């Protein structure tokens, strides 16, 4: 079985908890080695953020449970990387 190494998620979250606390709580998920969160859009009620989590064997369900326990909702999975290592995206001739 291959392991999930990276996942990028589009999340809708309330203003509370703060983005710092939200990110710290996701980083505390046992299978997560590192996580970054970027603000995409802000309105009066909610924040739309992108979360990128990495680890040697991520447990997606545990990450999603942590997000939901903080009042967040996963809108989409925008990137997933499986295998022995993460393949970084490279420009191709079609990208020009």
Enumerate the domain spans of the chain: 4-85
| pLDDT reading at 90 higher than 90 | no
3-state SS assignment for residue 21: helix
Q: What is 4-85's CATH number, 3.40.50.2300, 3.30.70.1340, 3.50.50.60, 3.40.50.300?
A: 3.30.70.1340
Question: Taking the model in full, what pTM does it have?
Answer: 0.90
Q: Which residues contact 8 (CB under 8 A, 6 or more apart)?
A: 50, 51, 52, 77, 78, 79, 80
Separation between Cα atoms, residue 8 and residue 93, nearest integer Å? 25
Mean per-residue pLDDT, 62-68: 98
With beta carbons less than 8 A apart as the criterion, state whether 11 and 51 touch.
Answer: yes
Q: Is 26 exposed, middle or buried (0-12, 13-18, 19+ CB in 10 A)?
A: buried
Separation between Cα atoms, residue 72 and residue 25, nearest integer Å? 12
Name the pLDDT band for 82 (thresholds 50, 70, 90): very high
């Amino acid at each position: 079985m291959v392991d999930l190494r990276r996942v990028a998620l589009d999340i809708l979250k309330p203003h509370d908890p703060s983005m710092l606390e939200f990110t710290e709580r996701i980083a505390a998920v046992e299978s997560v080695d590192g996580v970054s969160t970027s603000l995409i859009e802000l309105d009066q009620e909610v924040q739309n953020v992108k979360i990128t989590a990495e680890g040697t064997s991520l447990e997606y369900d545990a990450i999603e449970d942590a997000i939901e326990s903080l009042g967040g909702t996963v809108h989409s999975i925008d990137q997933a990387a499986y295998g022995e290592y993460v393949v970084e995206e490279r420009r191709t001739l079609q990208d020009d």
